Amino acid sequence: MARHAILGFFFAGFISLLLAGRCALAEDTATSGGGSTAAGGECVILVHGLWRSGFAMRPLARPLVELGYRVEAPSYPSTNADITEAARDYLKPAVDACRPAGKAVHLVSHSMGGIVVRAYLQEERLPVGSRVVMLSPPNQGSEIIRYFGDQDWFLSAAGPAASSLSQSARGIIPTLKPFPEPVGIVAAYRDWSLWPDAWLPTPNDGMVSVDSMRLEGMDDFVLVRAGHASMRYRDEVQAQIVNFLQYGRFKKEQTARWVEELPALPALSIARPPQGAAPYVD
């Protein structure tokens, strides 16, 4: 009986997320910088996550466009393509379209989109000056998928890409190597969790644990109190993205706070912001 209650609890959360994700429209978003020319025509490619499309990244596009960035948000079939296919067939053409401008090409991802970015960077390099920002990426795999990823109903609902987000022999995570491009990670977290700790350790954002978001060799990491999906709408998240693209670091007081709030993860090498880093600019 208890087991059925737990499964019912999981299905309620899962269906809620699925219904929210289906609200995304299957179309690309492509906009050009119009206001400030602070970005100098650099390109930013927004990479969405599971059950989403490029349309879902519009909240992140607006402030970038206002600063003069060229913004592209390609859609990929997140429940049909695997991670490698998404990187090769959808992200690569978007990056290639930005290259002729001779400017930096930045990548900003949400959730599973971060793994698509890592898969792309296994074989490809970005232009000099390019940076990568990941929002709540399951870099160490998804704890939830460890429990449900091999079940037929999950594969049918989430597809091959999501089902591969694990550290298992069949997962893509162990195959991904470090890349040289500077990367900053914005980690959403909440003070409460819907899930049993055995399924999704705290702190988490409702879908990914903060521990799983971290990446070996990352250049910066910042915590933002928000949910997994709602973080895209937060002004603080949008400002942190801009700060990293411009300066290669997040707002310094936020960067310092996560060190005190989170347990150490000795297996990862965490880079600290350089001394004398430029302050955050509103």
**CA–CA dist 42, 70 (Å, integer):** 6
Per-residue pLDDT of the chain (282 residues; tens, 9 = 90+): 444 344 434 443 443 444 344 433 334 445 555 444 456 789 999 999 998 999 999 999 999 999 999 999 999 999 899 999 999 999 999 999 999 989 999 999 999 999 999 999 999 999 999 999 999 999 999 877 776 666 677 667 767 888 888 888 889 999 999 999 999 999 999 877 776 676 677 798 988 999 999 999 999 999 999 999 999 999 999 999 999 999 999 986 644 444 445 555 433 333 333 333 333 232
Per-residue exposure over 101-126, b if at least 16 CB sit within 10 Å of its own CB, e if not: eebbbbbbbbbbbbbbbbbbbeeeeb
Does an H or E element contain 13, and which? helix 2-21
Cα 185 from chain centroid (whole Å): 8
pTM for the model stands at 0.80
**CA–CA dist 90, 25 (Å, integer):** 17
State the Cα angle at 126 between 231 and 57, rounded to 5°: 25
pLDDT at residue 213, as a whole number: 96
**CA–CA dist 91, 88 (Å, integer):** 6
Q: Which residues pair with 47 in a beta bridge?
A: 109
**CA–CA dist 246, 157 (Å, integer):** 38
What are the phi and psi torsion angles at 75 (to 5°)? -95, 145
Classify the phi-psi angles of 257: left when phi > 0, otherwise alpha if psi is within -120 to 50, otherwise beta.
Answer: alpha
Residue type, position 137, single letter:
P
* Residue 76: exposure state from Cβ atoms within 10 A (0-12, 13-18, ≥19): buried
**CA–CA dist 131, 106 (Å, integer):** 5
pLDDT at residue 23, as a whole number: 39
pLDDT at residue 255, as a whole number: 45
CATH no., domain 37-261: 3.40.50.1820
What are the phi and psi torsion angles at 231 (to 5°)? -60, -25
Of 182, 180, 220, 187, nearest in space to 204 by CA = 187
Contact 224, 218 (CB under 8 A): no
- Which SS3 state, helix, strand or coil, does residue 41 take? coil
